[in-house]
Amino acid sequence: MPEPLAGARELVDDLVGDRAAEWDRAGLIPDDVLRTLAARGLLCAGVPETFGGLGASSAANGEFTAYVGSRCSSLRSVMTSQGMAAWTIQRLGGPRQHAEYLPKLAGGRLAAIAFSEPEAGSDLSAMTTTIEPEGETVVVRGQKVWTTAAHYADLIVVVGRYGSGAAAVVVPASAPGVTVRRVPRPSGCRAAGHADVHLDDVRLPTSAVLGGGQPLMLLVTTAVAYGRISVAWGCVGILRACLDAAGGHARIRRQFGKPLAQHQLVGRHLADLLTAEQIATRVCEHASRCWDSGSPDMVVATVLAKQVSAVQAARGAATAVQVLGSAAAREGHVVERAYRDAKLMELIEGSTEICQLILADHAVSMSTSAS
């Protein structure tokens, strides 16, 4: 792992060990694990060094994200949430807000970002949460659902309507009027701290508002972009974990007098898994190159990476289950967890269908021929 992430994988290995299944069953990652990684800046490694971060490139952070995803998708989900919060502050905030919040997120504080509402999932234009100015303060009212890592968060970046446009606001989880309720037993990433967040007349200084007055979808697109590339790299990790588990099982397990791997239909499954991992890796590498070079293709490349990687992860995890058979039916097995976690990846940060619509629009815009 290149600088500035040297030693990061080893630290994750020490912290996670063989406890990912235990965390999944309990629905909880120990606080000391999250605080240790947060204090090292590893939950949002892209924060610039100027603000106490590691200043990692998208490519380096992506490979690290994949590694974490191969060990524990719930932990990777918390990393994605922290990174999204930091990215949103970095992109929408001013110099004083950068200096106020970014060192905290790169130095040990935990954060989440809240978009979805009971009636505003894929259609975020239906968002009803409001951020209303009142003198030198703003009052935040609304309800957010399925907010990843909110259970752990010290700060929650809340997106809502602000005048005729939209804004994000940094809300301390301990502020009066904030109620965080865990989502019980989610089907995937069970230890990621998913929670519903109720905001009842939460009063904050105006200095907590980020990017006030922007068009809602522009603001959301800015924030979600980081989440999409992080999820995409996380899906690479899921595929690598499945490939490792399925390959190892097929090499050792014997049926009809020979190893499973020597049965042609099982070999096809392993080939499909390797292909899926390679496809997802390459599309993520391309997206990260676009990020690091500031390419105008970054937005489309990111959507493509998320779409392709999530679909490949869901299919790949199902394939790995097929190879392992009943061994993968035990709760807590790495492939059993991958199967549940991967399906969730097709839903978050833009569902498969939403990504397809974006890509279809791009295909039309690229067309130069007329019928």
Task: Pull the structure tokens for residue 47.
Answer: 């924060």
Coil, strand, or helix at residue 301?
helix
DSSP strand pairing (111-114 vs 155-162): parallel
Residue 81 to residue 9: CA distance in whole angstroms: 19
In DSSP terms, which residues pair with 139 in a beta bridge? Answer: 132, 203
Q: What is the pLDDT of residue 18?
A: 95
Rounded CA-CA distance 241/301 in Å is: 24
Tokens of 217: 């979808």
Cβ distance 148 to 43 under 8 Å? no
Task: Answer whether 210's CB lies under 8 Å from 159's CB.
Answer: no
CA–CA gap between residue 295 and residue 162 (Å, rounded):
30
Distances (CA, A) of 56 to 6, 105, 282: 11, 15, 19
Strand 130-134 to strand 137-147: parallel, antiparallel, or no bridges (unpaired)?
Answer: antiparallel
SS3 269: helix
Residue 371 is predicted with a pLDDT of 55
Interatomic CA distance for residues 137 and 206, integer angstroms: 5
- The whole-chain average pLDDT of the chain stands at 94
Instruction: Read off the pLDDT of residues 26-74 as tens digits, 9 standing for 90 and up.
Output: 999 999 999 999 999 999 999 999 999 999 999 999 999 999 999 999 9
**For the chain, where are the E strands, in sequence order?**
111-114, 130-134, 137-147, 155-162, 165-172, 178-182, 195-205, 209-214, 254-255, 258-259
Which regions of the chain are under pLDDT 50?
1-2
Q: What does the H/E/C string look like for 248-259?
A: HHHHHCEECCEE
